Amino acid sequence: MDELPIQSGDDVVRVRQSVRNAAADNGLSLVDQTKLVTAASELARNTLVHGGGGRARVEVVKSANGRAGVKLYFTDEGPGITDIELALTDGWTTGTGLGLGLSGARRLVDEFELTSKPGGGTSVTVVKWSR
Amino acid sequence: MDVVGTNERMAAFLRDNHDKVVGRWTDLVAAGVRGRTSREEVRRELEDLYALIVRVLSRADEHAAGELTATLDELSRGRARDGFSPTETAVGVFSLKEAVYELVADSAELAPEFYSLSRMVDDLGLRTFEAYSAAREQIIADQSTAMLELSTPVVQLWDGVIAVPLVGTLDSARTQLVMEKLLDTLVTTGADHAVIDITGVPTVDTEVAQHLLKTVSAARLLGAECTISGIRPQVAQTIVSLGIEFGDIATKASLADALALALRQAGLKVVPL
Amino acid sequence: MERVPILKIGQTLFVSIQIDLQDESVIRLQEDLADELAATGAHGVIIDITAVEIVDSFIGRMLTTIGSISRLFDAETVLVGMRPAVAITLTELGLSLSGVRTALNTEKGLEILNGKS
Express each pLDDT in A101-113 by its tens digit.
Answer: 788 899 999 999 9
Average pLDDT in the C91-103 region?
A: 89
Phi, psi of B190 (to 5 degrees): 70, 20
Range of the domain at A105: 2-129
Smallest Cβ–Cβ distance between C57 and the set A13, A30, A92 belongs to A92
In angstroms, the CA B201 to CA B242 distance is 17
d(CA B11, CA B228): 69
Give me the total of CB pairs closer than 8 Å, taking one residue from chain A and one from chain C: 64
Contacts of C23 in chain A (CB under 8 A): 9, 12, 45
Overall fold of domain B3-146: Globin-like (1.10.490)
- Give the right CATH number for B155-265 from 1.10.150.450, 3.10.20.30, 3.30.750.24, 3.30.559.10: 3.30.750.24
The domains of chain B are located at 3-146, 155-265
Structural domain total, chain C:
1
Q: Range of C94's domain?
A: 6-115
Lowest-pLDDT range, B201-205, C4-8, C99-103? B201-205
For the four alpha carbons of C69, C71, C73 and C75, in that order, the dihedral sign comes to: positive
Question: Quick one: pLDDT band at residue B248, thresholds 50, 70, 90?
Answer: confident
| Chain C residues lying within 8 Å of B222, measured CB to CB | 82, 84, 87, 102, 104
User: Which residues of B are less than 8 Å from A67 in CB distance?
Assistant: 138
With 0.80 as the threshold, say if the pTM is over it.
Answer: no
Looking at the DSSP bridge assignments, the partners of residue A6 are A54
A97: pLDDT strictly greater than 60: no
CATH number of C80's domain: 3.30.750.24
Whether the per-residue pLDDT at C40 is higher than 50: the answer is yes
Neighbouring C-alpha atoms within 13 Å toward the C-beta of A123: 5
**Mean pLDDT in residue range A59-65:** 87
Give all chains having 3 or more CB-to-CB distances under 8 Å with chain B: A, C
Q: Which residue of B217, B225, B226, B265 is the best one to mutate when testing the C interface, meaning the one whose CB has the most C CBs within 10 A?
A: B217
Alpha-helical runs (H) found in C41-79? 57-72
B105-131 pLDDT tens trace: 877 788 888 998 999 999 999 999 888
Report residue B80's pLDDT band, with 50, 70 and 90 as the boundaries.
confident
Give a yes or no: residue C29 inside a domain.
yes
Terminal-to-terminal C-alpha distance of chain A? 22
Where residue A60 sits, what CATH number does that domain have?
3.30.565.10
How many separate domains does chain A show? 1
CB B90 within 8 A of CB B129: yes
Residue C26 in domain? yes
Q: Does C9 reach chain A within 8 Å, measured CB to CB?
A: no
B184 shares contact with chain A (CB less than 8 Å): no
Whether C17 shows a pLDDT value over 80: the answer reads yes
